[in-house]
A and B are shown apart, each in its own frame.
Chain A
Amino acid sequence: MKILLVDDDEVLIDRLTSDLVAQHYVVDTTTNGLLGWEYARSAPYDLIVLDIDLPGLDGLSLCRRLRQTGYAGPILLLTGRGSNSDKVEGLNAGADDYLIKPYTLTELTARLRALLRRPTVMSSPTLHWGQLRCDPNANLVTVADQTVVLSPKEYGLLELLLRHPDRIFSNTVLLERLWSADDSPGEETIRTHIKRLRRKLKQAGADDMVENVYGMGYRLRPAPPAAEPELTQPDPSLEQAKAEAARAAAIAAFDQFRPILGDRMAALRRAAAALRQPPLSDEVQSMAQGAAHKLAGSLGLFGLTEGSHLARRLEDWLVQNDAAQRAEFIALVAQLDAQLAAGPREISAPPGGSRIVPLAVTPRSTDTRHRVLAIDDDPLILAQLQRLLPPWGLDVVTLSDPRQTWTALEASPPDLVLLDLDMPHVRGVELCRQLRQQERWQTLPILFLTACREATAVYELYQAGADDYLPKPILEPELVNRLFQRLERGRLLQTLAGTDPLTGLANRRKGTIELDLLLHLAHRYPQPLSLVLLHLSPDLALTDSAKDLMVGLVAVLPTLTRRGDAIARWGPQEILIGALAPDWSSPQDALGPPLAQLLADRLRSSPGNLGPPLGLHLGAATFPTDGQTLDRLYQQATHRLASLG
């Protein structure tokens, strides 16, 4: 079970965390309300504990925001306030319970347990699977009354699977549910924990309890029936035999449906013939599109999985209808014709199996747009991505030649990369490896799109540094969910790292903490604090030359400031510097001339630049004369911005 604690009392957080971790909970903590919001948006929590008085965003507002955005888990509010109106306000904000300080740790953990039990539908807190019993209160697992000793992570995995017996957990979800945001173990770690858990369960007599759903993750197998204890031995061979019988029956029915399938194939042949001798009439195209759609959905039923893929490509082609590529359509029709004529051959499970997607997708906000760089030599896949993703706030830059990757990355740095596995010139895995070797792209989410589901290939792409992979053909709900999962995780990692990816300076979050600390010192030991704002123009967007100037500034600033001064990338075009008791009498005099010189050098080195003119402005404010708070000082510095050079 994963808990988020948001409280600015670090002593309390430390005590509570160690107590909860000892009870095998996974705990994320933060002292800031806004960061609490970021955490809650980025990972699923089984319970959230909120203090009311929080910096950044107060607990009541955070609680309201969580409920408004669909968080359905329990929320416990902690507070020093004890009046009835405060309690009512807390409960109205969506909290499930309310605890007034001071309280004992025992009382708090008892409340947490009560809240965690509340949403489960089980009448007993003990979880069962065949002869296995799991008591979350005692963290005790037994099989046929024999205790099974598990590590905390193994226990966490087992409890999670037992609590959600109908759910498949992907590696990504397991990472988010069972590891704190500070840990970021590889997917291999999960495999190791699952392997150990399986071995221990097997030794204890609960064999084959955790199922690996190939390409999707792990889930609990159905428990053996409890009403007939003498028959509790699971019989996987019987299940297997039934599955094979069903597949064999489907294949046997193929001849019965050959005429229907043949009609659909004929519609595609007519379209191919029309494309050989254009025009392709709307009627023929529409009939062919319907036929391709139906064949895509049905051929796999008879074991003709490859036929389904071909039909899906034909359907996509017909949606795009790119006459220049008509040879491809004609070739695909011929391939499909051959597949259909040969008929089904195998009885074994089709690779990748069938997919069922629960419809619990919450609508995503489209107010923030993300950029996705999609690299694939298949124009149909690229066209499909361009059609599917923009409505979700995902702008797609497509690239069919992987050799142009570096140019594309520089031209518009993406928030996520989608890579094909097999491409001419550069293999997807090799490209991924090269990206990961560069510091700048180490945290960039990379997902593979691949029709290949061989374990060795999947292992290789994780080894190369990929974050995830999606099987082709692309299913829209799965694609969008996985992309957002990755984008949110990537964003959180970057925020937590506190580093601005372009400049390597502190980002605004980390910068705020550093500047607040300097301001605190300035208050405490009455000293002046100089706040210097550097602003690059043009304002509309950070052009390549502006980026160069930003990087140039970062190189020169350490020579103009002292150790201990805070320097942060404050905004896309802003750098903010805080200097406690500075040596300079005027920052304009101290920083202005060398920075103006830097700007002049840059302008001289690229005279032919056709973009809007590059400019650099400086503004400064001093504590305490110009203001007492960071906000006020920043405003003053903004008002005083003056051009350098």
Chain B
Amino acid sequence: MVTKRILIIDDEADVREIAKVSLEITKNWEVTTAASGDEGAALAATYRPDAILLDVVMPKVDGLATLLKLGENIETQHIPVILLTATLRLATQQSFVAAGARAVLIKPFDPGLLGGQIESVLGWQ
């Protein structure tokens, strides 16, 4: 089985860590994390992940700004992005759809199911 590479961008250390551990244990995927939008967008261009989990509410560069940044870069614009959020207001949801996000994962997620859900929503099965 081909191992997937995942980038998690979230300013909350606990969410980053649990998502990372969960994907490593259940799917044996390679996971890298970033604590801010700027760091994540830069890392995405070099790390070339198969998918990005992106937190919506972050200080300074938030999820939408990061998503737009990823979309502007030819190296990252094709990478599927799943948003991570505890709530999603529809006004912003339309902006995320327009910016190309593929799905929203509602926090808290079940660490036992996260990998399967990502596979399912991205058609990796």
Using CB atoms and an 8 Å cutoff, list the residues of chain A in contact with chain B: 165-168, 219, 222-223, 225, 239, 242-247, 249-250, 253, 256-257, 260-261, 293-294, 296-302, 305, 308, 312, 315, 349-350, 353-361, 363, 388, 391-392, 475-477, 480
Contact residues in B for A294 (Cβ distance below 8 Å): 12, 86
A359–B104 CB distance below 8 A: yes
Given the interface pairs A357-B104, A359-B101, A475-B106, the reply to whether A222 lies near B125 with Cβ below 8 Å is yes
CA distance A349 to B22 in the complex (A): 13
Instruction: Tell me the complex Cα distance, A315–B124, Å.
Output: 35
Q: How far is the CB of B39 from chain A (nearest CB, A)?
A: 19
* 0/1 interface trace, chain B 1-38, chain A, CB 8 Å (1 if under): 10000000000111101100110011000000000000
Q: Which of A242, A297, A301, A391 contacts B26 (CB 8 A)?
A: A242
When chains A and B are docked, how far (Å) is the Cα of A545 from the Cα of B118? 57
B94 contacts the other chain (CB 8 A): yes
Q: Tell me whether B14 and A301 are in contact (CB under 8 A).
A: yes
Contacts of B60 in A (CB 8 A): none
Rounded to whole Å, the gap between the CB of A613 and the closest CB of chain B is 43
User: Are A350 and B93 closer than 8 Å at their CB atoms?
Assistant: no
- Per the bound structure, the CA–CA distance linking A491 and B98 in Å amounts to 30
Contacts A243-B113, A249-B25, A261-B14: A296 and B107 contacting too (C-beta < 8 A)? yes
The reply to whether A356 and B121 form a contact with Cβ atoms under 8 Å apart is: yes
Contacts of A349 in B (CB 8 A): 110, 112-113
Contact A356 B21, beta carbon cutoff 8 Å: no
Contact at A297–B18, with CB atoms within 8 Å?
no
Bound Cα distance from A84 to B14, whole angstroms: 65
- Residues on B facing A (Cβ under 8 Å): 1, 12-15, 17-18, 21-22, 25-26, 57, 82-91, 93-94, 96-97, 101-114, 116-125
Asked if A356 and B104 make an inter-chain contact with CB atoms under 8 angstroms apart, the answer reads: yes
**Structural contact, A354 and B106, CB atoms closer than 8 A:** yes
Q: Which residue of B101, B105, B121 is within 8 Å of A166 (Cβ)?
A: B121
B102 adjacent to A480 (CB under 8 Å):
no
Contact of A392 among B90, B110, B111 (CB under 8 A): B90
A299, A308, A358, A392: the one within 8 Å of B103 (CB): A358
A166-B122, A476-B90 given; 17 more Cβ-contact pairs under 8 Å: A166-B123, A166-B124, A167-B120, A239-B26, A243-B26, A243-B112, A245-B25, A249-B111, A261-B14, A294-B12, A300-B108, A301-B15, A312-B87, A356-B104, A356-B109, A356-B117, A361-B93
A357 / chain B contacts, CB cutoff of 8 Å: 103-104, 106
Residues of chain B lying within 8 A (CB to CB) of residue A476: 87-90, 93
Contact at A249–B21, with CB atoms within 8 Å?
yes
- A354 and B96 CA atoms in complex are apart in Å by 21
CB-CB under 8 A from B108, the residues of chain A are 296-301, 305, 308, 350, 354
- Complex formed: what's the CA distance from A336 to B97 in Å? 34
Most chain A C-beta atoms within 10 Å of own C-beta, residue among B1, B22, B97: B22
Set of chain A residues within 8 Å of B111, measured between Cβ atoms: 243, 246-247, 249-250, 301
Query: How many angstroms from the CA of A475 to the CA of B93 in the assembled complex?
Result: 12
Known: A293-B57, A356-B117, A477-B93. A247 touches B110 (CB 8 A): yes
Q: B22 — which chain A residues lie within 8 A by C-beta?
A: 246, 249-250
- Known pairs A293-B86, A476-B90, A480-B90; A354 contacts B117 (CB<8 A): yes
Measured CA separation A523–B26 after assembly (Å)? 75
**Cα-based distance from A300 to B90 in the complex (angstroms):** 23
In the assembly, what is the distance between CA of A324 and CA of B119, in Å? 47
Query: Mind listing 19 A-B residue pairs with CB under 8 Å?
Result: A165-B123, A168-B120, A243-B113, A244-B112, A246-B22, A246-B25, A246-B114, A247-B111, A253-B21, A296-B87, A296-B107, A299-B108, A300-B110, A349-B113, A356-B106, A359-B97, A475-B87, A475-B106, A477-B104
Rounded to whole Å, the gap between the CB of B36 and the closest CB of chain A is 16
Q: In whole angstroms, what is the CA distance A302 to B84 when docked? A: 17
CB-defined contacts of A475 to chain B, threshold 8 Å: 87-88, 106
- Report the nearest A residue to B27, measured CB to CB: A242
Q: CA–CA, A382 to B91, complex, Å?
A: 20
B103 proximity list for chain A (CB < 8 A): 356-359
Which among A166, A168, A245, A246 has the greatest number of chain B C-beta atoms within 10 A? Answer: A246
CB atoms of B113 and A353 under 8 A apart: yes
Query: Do B107 and A359 touch across chains, with their CB atoms under 8 A apart?
Result: no
Let me know if A354 and B18 touch, CB within 8 A: no
* A260-B13 in contact (CB<8A): yes
Nearest 5 pairs of A and B residues by beta carbon: A300-B108, A243-B112, A297-B107, A297-B86, A354-B109
Give chain A residues whose Cβ lies under 8 Å from the Cβ of B104.
Answer: 356-357, 359, 477
Give the CA-CA distance A276 to B109 in the complex, in Å. 34
Contact partner of B90 (CB less than 8 A), chosen from A223, A312, A391, is A391
Identify which of B14, B96, B113, B123 gathers the most chain A CB atoms within 10 Å of its CB.
B14
CA distance A57 to B104 in the complex (A): 38
User: CB-nearest residue of chain B relative to A358?
Assistant: B103
Q: Which residue of A has the minimal Cβ distance to B120?
A: A166
Q: Chain B residues with Cβ under 8 A from A257's Cβ? A: 13-14, 17
Please report the C-alpha to C-alpha distance between residue A167 and residue B119 in the assembled complex, in whole angstroms.
11
Residues from chain A with Cβ under 8 Å of B107 in the complex? 296-298, 300-301
